[in-house]
Structure 1
Amino acid sequence: MASIYLIRHGQASFGAENYDELSPLGRLQATLTGEYLARTGVVFDAAYSGSLERQKDTASLALASQTGSVSATVDARLDEVRNDEHLEYLLPKVVETRPEIKAIVDQGLDSSKRFQKVIEAVFNYWVSPECDEPNIQSWAEYSEGVHGVLRDIITNEGSGKTIGVFTSGGTIATLTAAVLKLPGSATYQFYEPVFNCSVTQIFYRADQVSLSYFNDCSFLREQSASRGEKLVTYR
């Protein structure tokens, strides 16, 4: 049975002028993830990543530990949910009916915890039938693209392959919900808990796709203990 490893990018630069670059910790996470995969016998026949710098850099650092030469094919359908777009166009609508979200916004979004609560609110509004904002990528367009790239990878690579996919939390959540045949409204539960550089494995054969495990970062926890560093992060 063929395997696809969905790997979230390493820690990006939250709060910095350019979020879309790995922090020093994110680069270390990506390197350690690659070493872990190689050490446990995961040899990729092919690899893919989104077009975001944090995704491409994570792929490059992780793939450096592969025994052969593997480069990641870039596909923008693996990019992250456009959270900036949601904050600009959807958040004003959410705060009109959610006073508790307005109160959080009024405190400022410089806190990771407050930011995540706002992302949850706008994400769940985005996937709902009530969202008809014409100025953003719709949930239907986004999710169809994510489902489509999975189908294309499976078709292009064929049976018996081991494939690495370097992407982001929203994409991993969307794919996980799709594999489990859950609706868009169930997607966020898989989005919030995704750790940086966590690994989610799915199996496929013919037209059957199944989830093996989700959001594993036990190798980073082990490294945290042995190195005396905090290596497990959400953001």
Structure 2
Amino acid sequence: MASIYLIRHGQASFGSDIYDQLSPLGQRQADLVGQYFQQVGIRFDYAIAGDLSRQQETGRRVLASQAEPPSLNTDPRFDEVDNDSQVRILLPELVKRDDALRKLVDSGFESSKEYQKVIKATFTAWILEGHRYSGLQHWSEYRDGVSAALEGVMQAAGGGTNSAVFTSGGTIATAVGLVLKASAERFYDFYEPVFNCSITRLIFSGSRVSLSNFNDVAHLSLLSAQLSEDLVTYR
């Protein structure tokens, strides 16, 4: 059996002018995850990331702890879903038929928790009805891209290997939903709970893929207690 470790990027810079960069805490999370893999003896034979800055930096920092790190490849199919376009295009239509969502939008939805409610509404609408709107990548195209990217990792890595994929919550949710053969409306259920620098492990043999563990942050929870730091974050 071979393993693919889907690693969400460290905390990004929510609320700043440039979101797509690791915060100081996100950098520390990535460094500690790299040390964790090194300490438990997990050596990566293959590594790949989306081309977003937060994904790339997480990958570099994690791999820095490997005795002989593999090259970090790049595949934009591992980028995050385009939340900004979904909000811009879908939200004006959604608030017309959802009073609670309209009130939330009118309030400014500035907190992370409020923003997540908006993402839930727009992400779900994108999956179920986004094909009706111009300017949005179709869900099926994104989904099929993630599927093909995972198949590419399996082919590049081969049997008995460990691969690291540095990506984002929506992509991890899509990969998990595909492996579990979930219905389209269930994919958001895998998106919302994904922690920063969590580890989701897929195991595969040939073309058969199984989910071993999902959204694991036991490593960060233990270090939080040991170091008296709050290392577990969603956003």
Structure 2 length-normalised TM: 0.98
CA contact (8 A) 1:200 1:215 kept: yes
In 2: Cα distance, 1:18 partner to 1:184 partner:
31
1:166 equivalent in structure 2? 166
| Other structure's SS at 1:203 match | strand
Corresponding letter in the other structure for 2:180? L
Separation in 2 of the partners of 1:82 and 1:93?
A: 17
**C-alpha displacement of 1:71:** 2.3
- Correspondence 1:217-228 to 2 at 5 A: 217-228=217-228
Counterparts of 1:39 and 1:130 in 2: how far apart (Å)? Answer: 44
* CA offsets 1:42-90 (integer angstroms, 9 cap, x no match): 1000100000000000000000000103221010000001000111101
- For residue 193 of structure 1, give the secondary structure of its aligned residue in structure 2: coil
Aligned CA-pair RMSD: 0.9
Answer yes or no: is 1:124 the counterpart of 2:121: no
Contact 1:101-1:118 at 8 Å conserved across structures:
yes
1:171-225: CA deviation from partner (whole Å, max 9, x where unpaired) = 0000001000112211100100000000000000111000000000011011111
The yes-or-no answer on 1:34 pairing with 2:41 is: no
Shift of residue 141, structure 1, vs aligned partner: 1.1
Structure 1 window deviating more from structure 2 (7-16 vs 101-110): it is: 101-110
Q: Name the aligned partner's letter for residue 226 of structure 1.
A: Q
Change (3 A) 1:133 1:57: same
Distance, in Å, in 2 between the alignment partners of 1:156 and 1:3 is 12
CA contact (8 A) 2:6 2:167 kept: yes
Please name the residue that 1:184 is paired with.
Answer: 184
Structure 2 runs not aligned, ≥5 long: none
List gaps (5 residues or longer) in structure 1.
Answer: none
- State the partner residue of 1:86: 86
Aligned ranges for residues 43-122 of structure 1 at < 5 Å? 43-122=43-122
| Contact residue 125 and residue 131 of structure 1 kept, 8 A | no
Letter aligned with residue 56 of structure 2: K
In 2, the alpha carbon distance for the partners of 1:122 and 1:129 equals 10
Q: Which amino acid aligns with 2:92?
A: P
Runs of 4+ off more than 3 Å: none
Structure 1 counterpart of 2:150: 150
Distance 2:153 2:56 in 1: 17
Matched position secondary structure for 2:20:
coil
2:18 aligned with 1:2 = no
Identity between Structure 1 and Structure 2 (%): 49
Structure 1 letter corresponding to 2:52: L
SS of the residue 1:80 aligns to: coil
Task: Name 1:138's counterpart in structure 2.
Answer: 138
Deviations 1:81-118 (A, max 9, x none): 10001111011111111111111111112110100000
TM-score (normalizing by structure 1): 0.98
**One-letter amino acid matched to 2:164:** G
* Counterpart contact for 2:130–2:136, Cα < 8 Å: no
CA deviation digits over 1:136-156, x for unaligned, max 9? Answer: 111111111101100111122
Say yes or no: does 1:232 pair with 2:232: yes
SS at structure 2 position matched to 1:141 = helix
Mapped to 2, the partners of 1:129 and 1:208 lie a distance apart of: 30
SS of the residue 2:181 aligns to? coil
Counterpart Cα distance in 2 of 1:27 and 1:221: 16
The structural deviation recorded for 1:130 is: 6.4
Secondary structure, aligned partner of 2:132: coil
Q: CA distance change for structure 1 residues 130 and 16 in 2, over 3 Å: closer, same or farther?
A: closer
Asked whether the equivalents of residues 60 and 71 of structure 1 are also in contact (C-alpha less than 8 Å), the reply is: no
**1: CA distance, partners of 2:168 / 2:130:** 26
Sort the Cα spacing of 1:50 and 1:130 in 2 relative to 1 into closer, same or farther, 3 A.
closer
